[in-house]
Amino acid sequence: MAAPPHVLPFLSPSASPRAPSGRRRAAGLRCAAAAGQAGFFTRLGRLIKEKAKSDVDKLFSGFSKTRENLSVVDELLTYWNLADTDRVLDDLEEALLVSDFGPKISFRIVDTLRDEIRDGKLKSGSEIKASLKRCILELLTSKGSNTELKLGFRKPAVIMIVGVNGGGKTTSLGKLAHRFKNEGAKVLMAAGDTFRAAARDQLEVWAERTGSEIVIDKDKKAQAPSVLSQAVKRGKREGFDIVLCDTSGRLHTNYGLMEELVTCKKVMAKALPGAPNEVLLVLDGTTGLNMLQQAREFNDVVGITGFILTKLDGTARGGCVVSVVDELGIPVKFIGVGEGVEDLQPFDAEAFVEAIFP
């Protein structure tokens, strides 16, 4: 008896595994299903990225403090002349350092500008500013160009969120869920922060707010790997598109807690080969260059695929975005530029450069 039209034959108990034609038909449907899922994730990633380009005003507003810090650049270059080159470049270097671009990047940018001025390639303040912006954009795109989420080719895509206490992991996860839901994805949250009772409550609020499902530790005794494993298995069993996995905040210097993240990754991969598709490290932008050591330690232990930089609207140290990409070669995937649910923005390098150097 043929399977109902809405049931894939290879999932139907009545499909005969012995008939070669049935196997070919089933294989073809598997390929079609896989292609359909891959297409869904490709479209989802593209839609989220395109939304970033339409939200330029939010980005511009979110970097107001960094932009104010760098406004001295326009003052320096407006009346620039060749005789003032050394003084102007020294002041420019100081402005970059104050905004947490870091010594390595600041010196490299200024040396590049000095060489281009000396070679006669830059002959006006506007040309120097354009070259400055180009240098920063090249730094971001040469090492951190893969800013789109890599969601794989089959459902569910699993995203693991990690970071230290207070960085904004749970809030970032909730805002990600909001974005996915707005694009029509079926989202499952996993309350893997089993150390902090308030984190589970907070995530339940986000689940209700975004219309997502959630897996929690009901008896409050389960460990994080168990909760995350259950969530991934449920996501696979019930056909969720995205599984967002929260984890407990931990200091990067606490070896035992860092090793727990390795266990979490292993149990997810056991439940669904290839999971997690993304491991996103949430970094507090107000810490500036101090975030670099955190990022190195987390990457060494768990293998970070992208950064979420939060609270950038509350700091004038936006240059840290460039520093973390250049130092580690890992892309920034999202940036937090406000308290609103829409204020977790997909990162766009060109929009970022225009926001800090209009």
Among residues 16, 34, 236, the alpha carbon closest in space to that of 3 is found at 16
188 phi and psi, to 5 degrees? Answer: -120, 130
Q: Residue 275's pLDDT band (boundaries 50, 70, 90)?
A: very high
- Helix (H) / strand (E) element for 308: namely strand 306-310
Is 310:283 a contact under the CB 8 Å cutoff? yes
Instruction: Please check the confidence at residue 91 and state whether its pLDDT lies above 90.
Output: yes
- Looking at per-residue pLDDT, the higher value among 281 and 48 belongs to 281
Q: What is the pLDDT of residue 312?
A: 84
For the segment 108-135, the average pLDDT, to the nearest whole number, is 95
Question: Would you state the structure tokens that stand for residue 230, as one six-digit string?
Answer: 């259950």
Q: Residue 143's pLDDT band (boundaries 50, 70, 90)?
A: confident
CA atoms of 101 and 106, how far apart (whole Å): 6
Q: What is the pLDDT of residue 302?
A: 92
For the segment 298-326, the average pLDDT, to the nearest whole number, is 88
CA atoms of 123 and 125, how far apart (whole Å): 7
Instruction: Please check the confidence at residue 70 and state whether its pLDDT lies above 60.
Output: yes
Instruction: Please check the confidence at residue 294 and state whether its pLDDT lies above 50.
Output: yes
Distance of CA 328 to the CA centre of its chain: 14
The residue with tokens 């727990």 is 260
Q: What is the pLDDT of residue 286?
A: 85
Give pTM, 2 decimals. Answer: 0.83
Is 346:48 a contact under the CB 8 Å cutoff? yes
Q: Is 143 exposed, middle or buried, given 0-12, 13-18 or 19+ CB atoms closer than 10 A?
A: middle
For the segment 173-191, the average pLDDT, to the nearest whole number, is 94
Instruction: Please check the confidence at residue 37 and state whether its pLDDT lies above 80.
Output: no
- Relative to beta strand 213-215, strand 332-336 is unpaired
Instruction: Please check the confidence at residue 222 and state whether its pLDDT lies above 60.
Output: yes
